[in-house]
Structure 1
Amino acid sequence: MFNITRQRVANGVVVSGSVIKDMSKCNCTLRLNTHCNQLSANAWKVIVCVFPSHHDSKAVALDSYFCGHGRNSFVSFATRLYDCNKDSSYGEKFDKDGNIIVVHLDLINYQLSYTINGKKYGVAYDNLTKNVGYRLAVGLTEANWELELLWCCNF
């Protein structure tokens, strides 16, 4: 079991060093801190995702990077699910100061789901690859925004 608390990411990409392995479940709770800054015209503001643990974690463009490594990457934009060759609506927008998102990674049933601001949105992906382990990754495009990792634990 691992526990991570009070880590922050601002402007860019952060990938968890901890690997969530098969036959476990993990919940990670993140809070968005916008500091009331003005929004840019960028189409996306926040990415919260998981990706296979054996891939390089120094990618800059998360979406391009993930697709370059095949279908084992699962990316969620603010209101979109993105799996390289397809995307679909999911959840609600999370771009306000204080928004909370919980990532539910289930490597017993190989599913990924999210809770946004207390509302569970059900299974986002049910085809996670077995026997690879996953890491949590987040990305931001807005200046001075932060995603604060409040809690992350395996059980």
Structure 2
Amino acid sequence: MAAQFSALLAQPVVEFGDLLRAHVDFAERLAASNDAIGSVNLWRGDAGEGAAEFICDVLASADPLPPVPPREYPALLDALMSTRVVRPRYGRHPRLQIWGPLEARLQHADLLILGGLNEGSWPPEAPNDPWLSRPMREKFGLPAPERRIGLSAHDFAQA
């Protein structure tokens, strides 16, 4: 069952898309039961639909990625997955909305409760970019890393 995935993990470098496809195939086989095939069990519900959408998006853009050492695959997948948020669609109060920063910028409410304003998590720290220095970012016309801090302050002031 894990032969294809294990064989890829044993290689020095592997195409990211091939590794992800083998990982998904292995996960679907593990999720199989006597009642349903693995793909049904693995991709059902809000979290499953979000994961399936994530996998499709990553596979659609995986071709230009260079081959990766399999030991770096978990960290790379974790970094890619950390950008996604899956919230349940049902079971909430009809008059209560929990919004992220983007949704909050686009909506209006009579009463707002701001959560997550803890030191260290808000405002978000400017990330250190090991690939592009600040002069390189400026040369390419990319925004400064501190721009997210400014957007967070703007969001707070608008609330």
* Length-normalised TM-score, structure 1: 0.26
Larger % of helix: which? Answer: 2
* Length-normalised TM-score, structure 2: 0.26
Larger % of strand: which? Answer: 1
Structure with max Cα Rg:
2
Structure of greater relative contact order (alpha carbons < 8 Å, 6+ residues apart): 1
